[in-house]
Structure 1
Amino acid sequence: MAYEKTEWVPLTGLGRQVASGQITSIDQVLESGRPIKEPEIVEMFLPDLE
């Protein structure tokens, strides 16, 4: 089963900050202490992670 990528529409505040470029690294995401509720956040910074 192939996974189709679609355009990401962030649903959380953290997701919106990542999408807008306010947060630019996975380190900043983790340092924020906020939960990562959208897998696209991780995919943005670690695209080769399986």
Structure 2
Amino acid sequence: MKRKPSALDWSNLIQGLPTETVVIDQDGHFDETVSPHFAKWMKGTAND
């Protein structure tokens, strides 16, 4: 790497990534229907 990525570089890099709000309760559980991308990532099936 010739230089450190700038804030604009990072912004452009992550622009198309899905974002979602994940609410985790006091027992460590979350609603998979509200946060489906997070649920897939946690199960290890995010690239399926």
Please confirm whether the aligned pair reaches a TM-score higher than 0.5, indicating the same fold.
Answer: no
Between Structure 1 and Structure 2, the one with more helix by share is 1
TM-score scaled by structure 1?
Answer: 0.31
TM-score scaled by structure 2?
Answer: 0.32
Which structure would you say has the larger RCO, counting Cα contacts within 8 Å and 6 or more residues apart? 1
Larger radius of gyration: 2
